[in-house]
């Protein structure tokens, strides 16, 4: 049986559910699905909250989007959300560094999503993990390639208080175990630090950090490297992983790895009128080396990654328009980005 049924106009008529639809990544996943013709049911703790108003403004939302209240810890609410759906995009995730808050919702919530999805006849789940579940391993050699086979060191994460990474690891493992047990098709997208323009009104954590660096309110930057990707690429990765026949397992969603100094240099080049953070908090030791990584599995699905310069520029312009950053001087239009 083909995964998709099409109407006479050629557009997909499948009903899919996106958990955490109002968040930074969830909103873009909803938008991408609507643009591709899906009927989308989004979940939120309070669908009527003004923080979800942007979803109703998306193209196609009036005809093809509905929002339902759902709580990951309430299987009955998930049952109503998943009923009649062909697929589920499990994007929702608790944001906290308190293990007592994080672990039950991340792990038991994921178990609930998988079990209810199977019970409601859902065929395919795309799970949003995090590269926090893949790259936090102090024993990995700088010459090793970070790819889908890599996992963070749980004990190291717990010892250093990185409970979010612990929670994402356990949630991803739970999703895989439950998919195997229940006979669900599962694909896992593993995004890294995610930048890009926001659809939602409130600022998200990664873009907030960009803003703090741009304004110099973060006095110094660490001697560290990180991987970056545009949120629109993350959304496209989710849909490609859902639509591609046979797509399964993990997909590392990373566009580039940079030292923090390189990131800030890029911001300074783009917006020289801002007091971009210039001091390294650890300039006595050699600069940390960017690690090697592979995003080939997503490229094989057809994903083309957005250049980070373009992503950062559009991130800052978006934050200005939404009032999260002052416009210090009028930027020259960068039509070449």
Residues carrying an active site annotation: 168
How many CB atoms sit inside 10 A of residue 326's CB? 9
71-103 exposure pattern, b = at least 16 Cβ within 10 A, e = fewer = bbeebebbbebbbebbbbbbbbbbeeeeeeebb
Using DSSP, state whether 216 is helix, strand or coil.
coil
What is the SS3 assignment for 118?
A: helix
Which residues contact residue 251 at a Cβ distance below 8 angstroms, ignoring those fewer than 6 apart? 148, 187, 188, 189, 190, 237, 241, 297, 298, 301
Task: List the 225-230 sheet strands across, edge first.
Answer: 193-195, 225-230, 256-259
Other CB atoms within a 10 A radius of the CB of residue 223 amount to 17
Q: Are the CB atoms for 298 and 270 separated by under 8 Å?
A: no
- Cα-flanking dihedrals φ and ψ of residue 70, to 5°? -155, 150
């Amino acid at each position: 049986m083909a995964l998709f049924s099409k109407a006479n106009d050629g557009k997909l008529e499948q009903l899919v559910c996106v958990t955490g639809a109002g968040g930074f990544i969830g909103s873009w996943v909803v938008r991408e699905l609507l643009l591709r013709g899906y009927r989308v049911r989004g979940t939120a703790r309070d669908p009527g909250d003004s923080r979800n108003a942007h979803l109703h403004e998306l193209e196609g939302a009036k005809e093809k989007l509905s929002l339902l209240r759902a709580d990951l810890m309430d299987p009955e609410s998930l049952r109503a959300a998943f009923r009649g759906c062909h697929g589920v995009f499990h994007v929702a995730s608790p944001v906290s560094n308190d293990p007592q808050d994080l672990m039950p919702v991340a792990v038991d919530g994921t178990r609930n999503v998988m079990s209810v999805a199977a019970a409601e006849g859902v065929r395919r789940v795309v799970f949003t993990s995090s590269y926090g579940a893949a790259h936090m391993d102090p024993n990995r050699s700088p010459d090793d390639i970070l790819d889908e086979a890599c996992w963070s060191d749980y004990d190291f994460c717990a010892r250093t208080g990185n409970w979010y990474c612990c929670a994402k690891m356990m949630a991803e493992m739970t999703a895989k175990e439950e998919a195997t047990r229940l006979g669900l098709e599962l694909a896992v997208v593993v995004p890294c630090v995610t930048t890009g323009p926001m659809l939602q009104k409130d600022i998200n954590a990664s873009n907030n950090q960009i803003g703090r660096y741009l304004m110099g309110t973060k006095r110094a930057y660490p001697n560290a490297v990180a991987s970056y990707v545009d949120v629109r690429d993350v959304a496209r990765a989710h849909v490609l992983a859902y639509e591609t026949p046979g797509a399964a397992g993990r997909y590392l969603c990373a566009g580039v790895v940079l030292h923090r100094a390189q990131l800030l240099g890029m911001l300074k080049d783009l917006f020289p009128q801002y007091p971009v953070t210039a001091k390294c908090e650890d300039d006595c030791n050699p600069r940390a080396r960017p690690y090697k990584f592979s995003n080939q599995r997503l490229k094989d699905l057809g994903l083309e990654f957005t250049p980070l310069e373009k992503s950062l520029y559009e991130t800052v312009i978006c934050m200005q328009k939404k009032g999260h950053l002052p416009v210090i001087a009028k930027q020259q239009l960068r039509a070449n980005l």
